Chain A
């Protein structure tokens, strides 16, 4: 398969896939940022806990389902993986809840810098909690990646592209759609947005901001856990895996506009795809690429691509 066009297509798809993983991480961060006005430095650790916990959940669920065989088996297996990812993400809900109610709530009215110290302290603590629970070495889940790849998809159209990546893109689209639906169409979502636009007004019409904040933080943790479980099968869970996604999410948020979900989506795909092309065309620029994109966009559009949360969901 040496066709230039095909390579360009696959490279772009690689970028899209990476972009969707990035979006799953950054969306949680940006929602928390937009509504609570808190920059959660521990978000990367939540992502990595999702990866570690995901390995356990995959092991259990797939042990029950068994490897895929035939079309029906394939469908069942994919569903089992999805259920595992959702279960893993659900495990993060109480973590997010406790964070918000126990730690953050006490310091909303203090200088913002204390929130940074607090979430950084939680980052350090979680780092060692992971070490304590899962040990010092990296962990892998063996079955998921190869099993899903054994289901033919892109091969059907003559493309050499792993089915797992197709899976990530599809799930990513579902997450995007789900989030927009939640914030645009559901009552709870609208209440959350209203709170983001005007806290006082929301309180005045009887919204409990405490509860909204807890909900939003739990949602952020849920998304981080979801992303962790989705990201881990092709690679490994390691203690330091939270750092890079965290920093890349910052870049995505700056590009997209602070607290804008749409911005995070466009930013994540932009970073994913441009980074992908950069690796192809100028490999040494790999690490600097996201930051270079960010600097460029800031020069052209200092406010980021989209406005702030609430006005443009």
Chain B
């Protein structure tokens, strides 16, 4: 049962090592209820699709893993689709060639494969940091993509079905279900996996291990000289984050019962996973998950609304970079941009005009600056 603790004059609740204020606890409870209620909510409106939200959660879960690297070690992986794809393809291979039917076993296979892959890619790319690291992870991801594309045993560009056994379906608790029921049950499975995964990640981020990663991220040299074997820690974090990707990929394969290189391994998927973390707020635990749902939803809805939906996504990312660098969750938190501005607005409604004016001024200044630079480039200094 939750236990009450008083810290810094605030009442907090502690349960299984998770500590939260009353407000946070309520938000958490609401979030869990919402997750479980989504299959019912999506039935209310045609524009909401369970499969879209489900996919968003799965990619978002991979982003939660990536965030361990991004937030603490400050390493930007641009190749996380590699582990998502490895998990997905491992599931497909086990279903097709080993005839495995049990969802549990398939997922274990996905975890094992992703662990090995992350260990390998990590060992090769973690000699570097910064952009070089980003480029290396990207290149290794593309290598896997090219391999999946080129191997007819992996179905090439057509991809592979995950339809094992006589039922043509992975078995949940040894049973087959109608497609609609299967979708909902696998969704609940995803929710459970996500809750466990978030809990584990939360505990990791409260542990001494996190201190080591933070130390490495903030001052790598000093971290070595307080006795941390840096590469080994970063490698461990890389593998953990890869495992999250692998679990997500395995679930993706089980849910959709089909994997293709394009949808799981292509480098733009890696980009998606990275941007989900930032969109949701990479300094938060659940941000990447929310970023995942929002980004996939945006892409899906955008496609229905306009043929220029990439433009739409691009603009959202721009607004994010300049207006809300802390992401959705980071900005909504108390003390975030949103609440600060709202408070300001309540006090002084005319503030909007000031913001608009200052934004206009900045844009104007920038335009003049770039024009003068252009003139100098073209005609030299006058």
Contact = CB atoms under 8 A, between A and B. Distances in A.
The answer to whether A and B touch in the complex, with CB atoms under 8 Å apart, is yes
Interface of A: 33, 37, 39, 41, 93-94, 97-98, 100-103, 105-107, 110-114, 116-118, 120-125, 127-129, 131-132, 210-211, 214-215, 218, 243, 247, 250-251, 253-254, 258, 284-285, 287-288, 291-292, 294-295, 298-299, 302
Contact of A291 (B130, B142, B320, B374): B142
A288 B366 contact: no
Contact of A287 (B146, B308, B373): B146
Contact of B373 (A97, A250, A299): A97
Contacts of A41: 271
B275 A117 contact: yes
Contacts of B322: 106-107
Contact of B76 (A112, A250, A285, A288): A112
A9 B30 CA distance: 69
B321 interface: yes
A121 B317 contact: yes
Contact of A294 (B76, B139, B147, B314): B139
B310 A39 contact: no
Contacts of A218: 373-374, 377
A94 B374 contact: yes
22 contacts: A41-B271, A98-B370, A102-B366, A102-B367, A106-B322, A107-B322, A113-B282, A117-B321, A118-B317, A118-B318, A121-B317, A121-B321, A123-B314, A125-B315, A127-B314, A128-B308, A128-B311, A254-B132, A254-B136, A254-B139, A292-B143, A295-B140
Contacts of A253: 135
A93 B318 CA distance: 22
Given A101-B366, A117-B320, A250-B138, A125 B325 contact: no
* A-B pairs with lowest CB-CB distance, top 6: A124-B314, A101-B370, A121-B317, A128-B311, A291-B143, A125-B314
A34 B35 CA distance: 45
A37 B129 CA distance: 13
B360 interface: no
Contacts of A258: 131-132, 135
A110 B310 contact: no
A288 B146 contact: yes
A28 B135 CA distance: 16
B127 interface: yes
Given A93-B378, A107-B322, A113-B274, 12 more contacts: A39-B134, A105-B366, A120-B271, A121-B317, A128-B311, A129-B311, A131-B307, A214-B377, A251-B139, A288-B143, A298-B136, A299-B124
The residue in B124, B314, B318 that gathers the most chain A C-beta atoms within 10 A of its C-beta is B314
A113 B274 CA distance: 9
A177 B289 CA distance: 50
Interface in B109-130: 124, 127-128, 130
Given A101-B373, A102-B370, A287-B146, A116 B76 contact: yes
Contacts of A103: 318
Contacts, number: 143
A121 B314 contact: yes
A196 to B, nearest CB: 14
Contacts of A288: 143, 146-147, 150
A84 to B, nearest CB: 19
Interface in B317-357: 317-318, 320-322, 325
A226 to B, nearest CB: 15
Interface in B148-190: 149-150
A217 B310 CA distance: 24
B124 A298 contact: yes
Contacts of B310: 124-125, 127-128
A53 to B, nearest CB: 17
A107 B136 contact: no
A285 B150 contact: yes
Nearest to A239: B310
A261 to B, nearest CB: 16
A124 B274 contact: no
B192 interface: no
Given A94-B374, A106-B322, A123-B314, A39 B131 contact: yes
B290 interface: no
B74 A111 contact: yes
A122 B146 contact: no
